[in-house]
Amino acid sequence: MATVADAKIQFTRQLHPAPTSPQARAQILANPGFGTSFSDHMVSIEWDEQRGWHDAVVGPRGPILLDPAAAVLHYAQEIFEGLKAYSQSDGSIALFRPEANAARFNQSARRLAMPELPEELFIESVRQLVAADRDWLPTVEGGSLYLRPFMFASEAFLGVRPAKQYRYLVIASPAGNYFKSGAPAVSIWVSDYTRAAPGGTGAAKCGGNYAASLVPQAEAIERGHDQVVFLDAAEHRWIEELGGMNLYFVFADGSLVTPALTGTILPGITRDSLLALARDEGLTVREERYSLDQWRDDAKSGRLVETFACGTAAVVTPVGKVAGRDGEFTIGTGGPGQLTQKLKNRLVAIQRGEAPDPHGWVMKL
């Protein structure tokens, strides 16, 4: 396991001249989309049983060498995080709740039998990469630099047991809108597949969860929807979350519901932040089970007026339509709802340094 001393390790900086020309970069930054272009550098830190965390480097981004027997390629011992660096109205750059990502990274590490990374080292690694690649912050409205810390088992060994060597990397990708359609509200498909079962890895951010969500997600797209929503594994009745976002339901009386953290959904940091912001507004938010049948009935009766998805990549995205084997229904007017927009604006204003930060979430770099 990592020790506090590991957090004190020095990063070697091997910066290289930007391989992307300023013109090409400017073009990307004006319209970055999501996840298709990458900054110039990456962070790499190694772990083994003898030395703990060592060899921390900020170097040129590029292909990595892996033994074909590396455990990650066989048994998917891999975890990741997603957070963003935001340009502030005063010209500085800030992270949003990076300590929450660091803590969740270690929760995932424990579930996947991987070594923990000291939280200070996680934050320092992200800080180092943003410092090296600060020219990669998008110029487009709503843009940010998406940061992807991840760790995988690099030991060459074919037995099934926790590996004895790991590699931690951080890469960065300029990000604009997560949804290509740019539609005011997304349409979601209720999957027959299950994402996570009790006792499984649903609450961990591990690659395997996403591999299992690809067929259901592809099915949603084929049917003309933007995203997939998963129900619980035991009864196939209770709403859990989308492939990469948590859900909130907004009622006509102004109260909200979000599915409780039962161990089968990811404890989203955006979900948690919105919980606090809604309560700051004096709204009632319940963390409880909510069924698909109830959702449909409430949307039809008008008791439910809005639904939105939330996550680092998707920020706050209104859900306009829900479809499944039993037919489809529209939420509210099918477009963005008022409370959804209000909570989104509150969150984004804090992230951008345009509003006070009463919870101390913003970390200026």
Name which of ligand PLP, ligand COI, none residue 319 binds, using a CB cut-off of 5 to 8 Å depending on partner kind.
none
Interface with ligand PLP includes 244 (CB under 6 A)?
yes
Task: Select the span of 9-17, 126-134, 269-277, 291-299 touching ligand PLP (CB under 6 A).
Answer: 269-277
Q: Which residue is nearest to ligand COI (CB)?
A: 82
Among 259, 268, 318, 337, binds ligand PLP (CB under 6 A): 268
Pairing type for strands 327-330 and 315-324 reads antiparallel
Which of 176, 244, 259, 337 touches ligand COI by CB under 6 A? Answer: 244
- Which residue do the tokens 């290509």 mark? 180
Residue 82 CB, nearest approach to ligand PLP (Å): 5
Written as six digits, the tokens of 66 are 């892996």
Is position 233 an interface residue for ligand COI (rule: CB under 6 A)? no
- 241 contributes a contact to ligand PLP by CB under 6 A: yes
Stretch that binds ligand COI, among 124-132, 164-172, 309-317, 319-327 (CB under 6 A): 309-317
Residue with tokens 């992270």: 95
**Taking CB within 5 to 8 Å according to partner kind, which of ligand PLP, ligand COI, none is near residue 196?**
none
Task: Check binding of 312 to ligand COI (CB under 6 A).
Answer: yes
Residue type, 57: V
Which does residue 266 touch among ligand PLP, ligand COI, none (CB within 5 to 8 A, set by kind)?
A: ligand PLP
* Phi, psi dihedrals of residue 73, rounded to the nearest 5°: -75, -15
Contact pick of 245, 275, 316, 362 for ligand PLP (by CB under 6 A): 245
Residues 6+ apart with CB under 8 A from 318: 184, 185, 186, 306, 307, 308, 335, 336, 337, 340, 341
Task: Report if residue 82 touches ligand PLP, rule: CB under 6 A.
Answer: yes
How far, CA to CA in Å, does 274 sit from each of 127, 202, 251, 256?
25, 21, 16, 11
- Residue 269: which of ligand PLP, ligand COI, none does it interact with, CB under 5 to 8 A by kind? ligand PLP
176 vs 311, beta carbon nearer ligand PLP? 311
Residue 269 lies near ligand PLP (rule: CB under 6 A) = yes
Residue closer to ligand COI by CB (options 163, 186) is 186
Say how far apart CA 249 and CA 340 lie, in whole Å: 10
* Residue numbers 300-319 binding ligand PLP by CB under 6 A: 311-312
Q: Which residues bind ligand COI (CB under 6 A)?
A: 82, 244, 311-313
Q: Which residues bind ligand PLP (CB under 6 A)?
A: 82, 241, 244-246, 266, 268-271, 311-312
